[in-house]
Amino acid sequence: MSTLLEVRGVSKRFGGVVANREVSLDVPEGSITGLIGPNGSGKTTLFNSIAGTHPIDSGSIRFDGHEISRLRVPQVARLGIVRTFQQTHVYRGMDCVRNMQISTPHSGDTLLSMLRESTAAETERALQLLDFVGLYGKRMLPAGDLSFGQQKLLEFAMALMNAPRLLLLDEPTAGVNPVLINGLVDRLKRANAELGITLLVIEHNMRVIMNLASRIYCLAHGEMLAEGSPATIRDDPRVVDAYLGAT
Amino acid sequence: MSNLTVLAGAPVLLVQLVVSGILVGAIFALVAYGMALVWGVMNIINIAQGEFVMLGGYVVFFLDRAGIAPVFGIPVAALVLYVVGIALYHTIIRRIVGRDMFTSILATFGISILLQQLANQLFSADIRTVRSGLPSLFFADGMITIPEVDLVGFAAAVVVGALLVAFLRTTRMGQAIRATAQNARAARVLGIDTDRVYATTFAINCAICGAAGGLVAMTWFIQPYLGLTYTLRSFMIVIVAGLGNLAGVIVAGAGLGVVEDLAGFVLGSEYQTAFVFMLLVVILVGRNLWLARERRSLR
Amino acid sequence: MTKSGRSVAAAIAVAVTGLALPWIVPSITTQAAFLWLMILFSLTWDINGGQMGYNSFGNVFFFGVGVYACALVQRDSGLSYYAGLGAGIGAGALAAALSALVLGPAMLAIRGHYFAIATLGLSIVAANVASAWEYIGAASGIAAPLFPGAIGDRAKFFYYLLFALAVLTFLLVRRLYRSRLGLAINAIRDDEDKAEAMGLHTTRYKVFAWSIAALLLGAAGGPVGNLVGFIDPNDLAFAGATFGVWMVLMAVLGGKGTLWGPVIGAVVFHVTQELFWTWLLGWQRVAMGLLIVVIVVFFPTGILGWVARRRTTAA
């Protein structure tokens, strides 16, 4: 397996606060990689750095061999990296189908191509993916009318619609009804296995991430603390310490 | 640009423009501070700000014509506009507090047009001014002229500003206003009647504008359509200085006054207002570029 | 009747009325011509306003550019009347669209209420510069060339021109909202940061949408200038306190972000205004100011929004 995402020595500070210090990680193509750590350890900052939301202070981020740390958000997205957010971001005034239709990949778009209506194929795919996440019955509702958990599912479906190579998921199960979590985890696995999407997942739910990921990185106080298989991480005393110390 | 070479060749002219700019800038700063107050406390950008100035000017003008000197006319103008502010608050403003910015901009724009046209209908479009009868002071061999009335205007603006700051710092209502500006919900929980705070804030702003209008009538002139220029001047000063930054407002106000005077001299008075608004657009574009460099991160 | 059936019926009714009006009631031809202008104003505003979330208070800038461009072509090109007019309208549309393409990237990078005020500033700058610029007539403005035809024919001619432009605008806008570009600008309105994060070329689409509005506004400039016969920089071309704010208001009144909302808003607004003029004369502007406040405060979702809410509470 080749390395799809290569983060080397990335540091980022905001004013006096060092959010990330010399963070390095590898995400192999086709894998599910986990990123854990107590609150405030810099996980979302790292995601923001990868996605291009802000520039990094030092280090390098390589996607499929290309340096992307100086690219802007839309450019990074068009290369095939899509991320979801802790607070859901969907287009609240549009119905679910339209949310999906505008989430197609945009790397080939020109003004001319945007002047046509959505194709039948695009709409079909949109409905398929809505069904995949269980939102088919709500497809005509405005996204703003969905519950928080449903919006998370929609956001996930929109991400899949964008046909990314790498999906950055920021706490996908947070706020989701525990009854529905298993179904969500199952869909994440299927997205990875059937659609070939590489996943990098921030998670607080240990049961979920141990089940999901093949390799896990643990951040604490902005630095990489430990990495390894779920079993290794679970038994690592430093990881346990970091979490206990944080509470 | 021949005026530019004139300026370069006669630095004393520069001093003249800078001094008169600072003097008029004090009035700008006063009006801007009022706008910042309403913006900070109620999250409303008051497009009708300039119209309140205009109305204050008319009050002083008509009182002066009736034989009442501006020194009394200005406090009366402030009082009249205070009452107008209370009335406007209870009829209109109360209903748009808490709504989005677009609504408040559109609504206050409507009030602006309403007042502007009302003034036009009632007072005609003629230019009015209040003759102070004060002499001009001459410096540097008569090269620098400073009308005494401009100094009076400057001093009055400073006095009103100081009174306002004292009010906000020392009185209970002033403290209530500042608390509401910080966190309206918390203020309500603490028992502060935010409705009264909003009404008072808005009315105080109108009063300030009224007083400033009297100063404008004395040092310059009044006509029904001068409102928008004052509104946009205030807006410029507030976004350059930032909300809650009194020193910044003063400096920005003086700066704007100077820049306007220079522009009026170099470009000609017909282009002076165009320059002011162009500056506004440039400031907004520039501010945006500067913000974009920092790039907020999404949560 | 189905929703699309209602739409078609309404469209036919409007088209028939529009075509027949100057023959049925010739005395109101000029006012009716302005009705079509108002519809064009509110539809073009809503492209960037209600549909895209960029509330411009300065779209009248593009209208004014069109007015002056046409007047200058007519004055200086030496072409015969109709050729000059045609070239002028084309020049107006082009000049306006070009200015949107040039100014767009910088202006549309500004968000929210700052954008509103920046565009307001832009239109006022234009009004002031136009009032001072000798070449284009300064404060005295420019007179339109004499219409080669009977007096009654002039109003009719420009009525149909504006009617055609309004219809063209409606059809264009309807097509736009059905396309993926329409989806894109709605997405930009609902969550621009998300749209960027999904890879949308947001700047490109924002500027293009603004340019379409500018193109149509610029095209309308020439006919209006010729209809009125005289171009005043402050009261006609860059009339910020009238046309500029009415554009916003009509769309809000009818229901912004919808297709028919701006049309309904324009009709109600214009008819009300004509009534004010007839009954209140000098005080009509005061009444307009009051009307703006009433609409904004009591009808924030507009007529269509109010109807929709009545329907859901009744159901």
Contacts of A44 in chain B (CB under 8 A): 299
pLDDT digits (tens, 9 = 90+) for A57-101: 999 999 999 999 999 999 999 999 999 988 899 999 999 999 999
Given a cut of 90, is residue C169 above it in pLDDT?
A: yes
Which pLDDT score, from 0 to 100, does residue B224 have?
A: 93
Per residue, the 3-state secondary structure of chain A, as one string, reads CCEEEEEEEEEEEECCEEEEEEEEEEEECCCEEEEECCCCCCHHHHHHHHHCCCCCCEEEEEECCEECCCCCHHHHHHHCEEECCCCCCCCCCCEHHHHHHCCCCCCCCCHHHHCCCCCHHHHHHHHHHHHHCCCHHHCCCEHHHCCHHHHHHHHHHHHHHCCCCEEEEECCCCCCCHHHHHHHHHHHHHHHHHHCCEEEEECCCHHHHHHHCCEEEEEECCEEEEEECHHHHHHCHHHHHHHHHHC
**CA count, 13 A, side-chain hemisphere, B299:** 2
Q: State the DSSP code for C281.
A: G
Task: Classify strands B144-147 and A32-36 as parallel, antiparallel or unpaired.
Answer: unpaired
Query: What residue spans of chain C are helical by DSSP H?
Result: 3-24, 29-48, 60-76, 81-107, 112-132, 151-178, 180-197, 202-228, 245-254, 261-280, 284-298, 302-314
The residues near B141 (Cβ < 8 Å, ≥ 6 apart) are none
B258 phi/psi in degrees, rounded to 5 = -65, -50
Residue C9 lies in a domain: no
C-alpha span between C42 and C34 (Å, rounded): 12
Residue C18 lies in a domain: no
What six digits make up the tokens of C260? 């028919």
Residue C216 lies in a domain: yes
Determine the angle formed by the axes of helices C60-76 and C81-107, rounding to 10 degrees: 150
Which pLDDT score, from 0 to 100, does residue B295 have?
A: 57
Nearest CA in chain B to A48: B297
Domains within chain B, CATH numbers bracketed: 2-294 (1.10.3470)
pLDDT digits (tens, 9 = 90+) for C268-294: 999 999 888 888 887 888 898 898 899
Average pLDDT of chain B to the nearest whole number: 88
Name the stretches of chain A with pLDDT < 70: 1, 245-247
- The β-bridge partners of C265 are none
Burial of B64 (0-12, 13-18, 19+ CB in 10 A): buried
Contacts of B299 in chain A (CB under 8 A): 44, 85-87
B299 to chain A, any CB pair closer than 8 A? The answer is yes
C-alpha span between B225 and B119 (Å, rounded): 9
Which pLDDT score, from 0 to 100, does residue B272 have?
A: 83
What are the structural domain ranges in chain A? 1-80+164-247, 88-162
pLDDT bin (cut points 50, 70, 90) of residue B297 is: very low
CB A147: neighbour CB atoms within 10 A?
Answer: 12
pLDDT digits (tens, 9 = 90+) for C295-309: 888 888 888 888 888
Nearest CA in chain B to C107: B285
Higher pLDDT, B295 or C76: C76
Contacts of C199 in chain A (CB under 8 A): 74, 77-78, 82, 105-107, 162
| C80 three-class SS | coil
C-alpha span between A81 and A84 (Å, rounded): 10
> Is A107 close to C199, i.e. CB distance below 8 A?
yes
> Is C296 close to B112, i.e. CB distance below 8 A?
no
Q: Residue C187 is nearest to which of A51, A102, A107, comparing CB atoms?
A: A102
C-alpha span between C189 and B175 (Å, rounded): 38
Given a cut of 90, is residue C137 above it in pLDDT?
A: no
CB B150: neighbour CB atoms within 10 A?
Answer: 25
Residue type, C135: Y
What ipTM goes with this model? 0.91
pLDDT bin (cut points 50, 70, 90) of residue B298 is: very low
Which pLDDT score, from 0 to 100, does residue C96 have?
A: 97
pLDDT digits (tens, 9 = 90+) for C148-159: 888 778 889 999
Q: State the DSSP code for C109.
A: T
Q: Which domain holds residue C286?
A: 31-314
Give the neighbours of chain C: at least 3 Cβ pairs within 8 Å.
A, B
C-alpha span between C132 and C139 (Å, rounded): 6
Burial of C55 (0-12, 13-18, 19+ CB in 10 A): buried
> Is A44 close to B299, i.e. CB distance below 8 A?
yes
Residue type, C171: L
C-alpha B239, offset from chain centre: 13
Which pLDDT score, from 0 to 100, does residue C313 have?
A: 72
The residues near A168 (Cβ < 8 Å, ≥ 6 apart) are A47, A50, A51, A81, A82, A83, A84, A200, A202
pLDDT digits (tens, 9 = 90+) for C208-263: 999 999 999 999 999 999 999 899 999 899 998 889 999 999 999 999 999 999 99
- The β-bridge partners of A11 are A58
Residue C225 lies in a domain: yes
Given a cut of 50, is residue B256 above it in pLDDT?
A: yes
Instruction: Note whether A78 and C200 are within 8 A (CB).
Output: no
B292 to chain C, any CB pair closer than 8 A? The answer is yes
What six digits make up the tokens of B209? 């504008």
Given a cut of 80, is residue C314 above it in pLDDT?
A: no
Name residue, tokens 């346990």.
A240
Residue C19 lies in a domain: no
A71 phi/psi in degrees, rounded to 5 = -85, 155
Mean pLDDT of B1-11: 72
Share of chain B above pLDDT 70, in %: 96
C190 to chain A, any CB pair closer than 8 A? The answer is yes
Mean pLDDT of B111-131: 90
Given a cut of 80, is residue C32 above it in pLDDT?
A: yes
pLDDT digits (tens, 9 = 90+) for B55-98: 999 999 999 999 888 888 999 999 999 999 999 999 999 999 98
Which pLDDT score, from 0 to 100, does residue C315 have?
A: 56
Which pLDDT score, from 0 to 100, does residue C260 have?
A: 93
B133-137, B259-263, B295-299: least confidently modelled range = B295-299
A24 phi/psi in degrees, rounded to 5 = -130, 140
Determine the angle formed by the axes of helices B246-267 and B11-42, rounding to 10 degrees: 140
Distance from the Cα of A234 to chain C's closest Cα (Å) equals: 33
Interior angle at CA A59, CA A57 and CA A64, nearest 5: 125
> Is B232 close to C55, i.e. CB distance below 8 A?
no
| B 168-187 → C contacts, CB under 8 A | none
Q: Residue C198 is nearest to which of A92, A103, A118, comparing CB atoms?
A: A103
pLDDT digits (tens, 9 = 90+) for B156-196: 888 888 998 899 889 988 888 888 888 888 888 888 888 99
Residue of B293, B296, B298, B299 to mutate when probing chain A, most A C-beta within 10 A: B298
User: Architecture of A1-80+164-247 per CATH?
Assistant: 3-Layer(aba) Sandwich (3.40)
Give the neighbours of chain B: at least 3 Cβ pairs within 8 Å.
A, C
What six digits make up the tokens of C301? 């979702």
Length of chain C: 315
C-alpha span between A18 and A35 (Å, rounded): 18
Kindly provide the b/e burial profile for residues C78-114, where b requires at least 16 CB atoms within 10 angstroms of the residue's own CB: eeeeeebbebbbbbbbbbbbebbeebbebbbbbeebb
Given a cut of 90, is residue C182 above it in pLDDT?
A: yes
Given a cut of 50, is residue B287 above it in pLDDT?
A: yes
Mean pLDDT of C172-180: 95
